[in-house]
């Protein structure tokens, strides 16, 4: 795939090596952005599309994120947009969840979002850029066995709306997906067979007849970063196939 020109807008994506983050990167690359990915592991070049620039960093490491931000600004010269997709989940009721497991979910999902915003916000002021953070329908419609994850994603929404006031005229918005078929729940401890059942069951329950695809979320993110959303900030956009209508 052809690289965008040097003067192309630069978007930084945390968690950009896989899942929703990768889909966002690929979508924005096609739209002419330079895509900078921050992930714990780089994208496998044999797996298809690869971000223009990759940095391996744990978003829970505030110093590490700050160092990468300085490097990005030195090398790219600008940052026009930030999308925070890095996330993790560990299934289990609270009494079965260790403090370390709960803390890791808060550290990556909430503090990781804050770390990235803190590091890149100064650069976004000059171009009056935009930030999109990723929440989850679980923030609005909690479910058992994911209480720490729900707390983290609820925090992302409150933080993002407050940040929209702090950073204006930089725009800050949230995308709130329901179940998206990326495999994160299997990596979080759900049995693969149970996951397949969940995908089928939820897909039949959702008003639009299927669970989400990473590309569905990427399209919403691309809209919120675009000039078509120039008068939108501080909003939480459900991208959920109608799941919120049925409390899912």
The catalytic position among 149, 159, 185, 206 is 149
- The architecture in CATH of the region 10-181+213-236 reads 3-Layer(aba) Sandwich (3.40)
DSSP output for 52-112: SEEEE--TT-HHHHHHHHHHHHHHHS---EEEE-------S-GGGS-HHHHHHHIIIIIIH
pTM for the model: 0.95
pLDDT in tens, the chain (248 residues): 566 766 899 999 999 999 999 999 999 999 999 999 999 998 877 778 899 999 999 999 999 999 999 999 999 999 999 999 999 999 999 999 999 999 999 999 999 999 999 999 999 988 789 999 999 999 999 899 999 999 999 999 999 999 999 999 999 999 999 999 997 878 877 889 988 998 999 999 999 999 999 999 999 999 999 999 999 999 999 999 999 999 88
User: What pLDDT shows up at residue 2?
Assistant: 66
* C-alpha–C-alpha distance, residues 238 and 212, integer Å: 12
Q: What is the pLDDT of residue 144?
A: 92
Q: Is 182 helix (H, G, I), strand (E, B) or coil?
A: coil
The residue ranges of every structural domain in the chain are: 10-181+213-236
By C-alpha distance, which of 79, 244, 85, 59 is closest to 153? 85
| pLDDT for residue 128 | 84
Q: Is 206 among the residues known to form the active site?
A: no
Q: Residue 187: what pLDDT? A: 80
């Amino acid at each position: 795939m052809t690289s965008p020109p040097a003067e192309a807008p630069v978007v930084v994506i945390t968690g950009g090596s896989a899942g929703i983050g990768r889909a966002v990167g690929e979508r924005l690359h096609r739209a002419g952005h330079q895509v900078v990915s921050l992930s714990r592991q780089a994208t496998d070049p044999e797996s298809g599309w690869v971000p223009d620039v990759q940095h391996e960093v744990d978003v829970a490491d505030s110093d590490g994120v700050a160092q990468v931000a300085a490097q990005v600004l030195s090398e790219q010269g600008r940052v026009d947009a930030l999308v925070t997709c890095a996330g993790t989940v560990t299934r289990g009721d609270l009494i079965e969840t260790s403090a370390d497991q709960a803390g890791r979910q808060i550290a990556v999902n909430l503090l990781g979002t804050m770390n990235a915003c803190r590091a890149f916000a100064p650069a976004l002021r000059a171009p009056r850029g935009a930030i999109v953070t990723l929440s989850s329908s679980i923030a609005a419609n909690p479910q058992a066995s994911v209480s720490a994850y729900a707390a983290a994603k609820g925090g992302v929404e409150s933080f993002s709306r407050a940040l929209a006031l702090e950073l204006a005229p930089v725009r800050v918005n949230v995308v709130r997906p329901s179940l998206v078929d990326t495999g994160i729940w299997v990596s979080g401890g759900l049995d693969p067979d149970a996951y397949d059942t969940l995908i089928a069951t939820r897909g039949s329950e959702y008003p639009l007849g299927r669970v989400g695809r990473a590309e569905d979320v990427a399209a919403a993110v691309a809209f919120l970063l675009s000039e078509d959303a120039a008068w939108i900030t501080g909003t939480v956009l459900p991208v959920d196939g109608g799941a919120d209508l049925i409390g899912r």
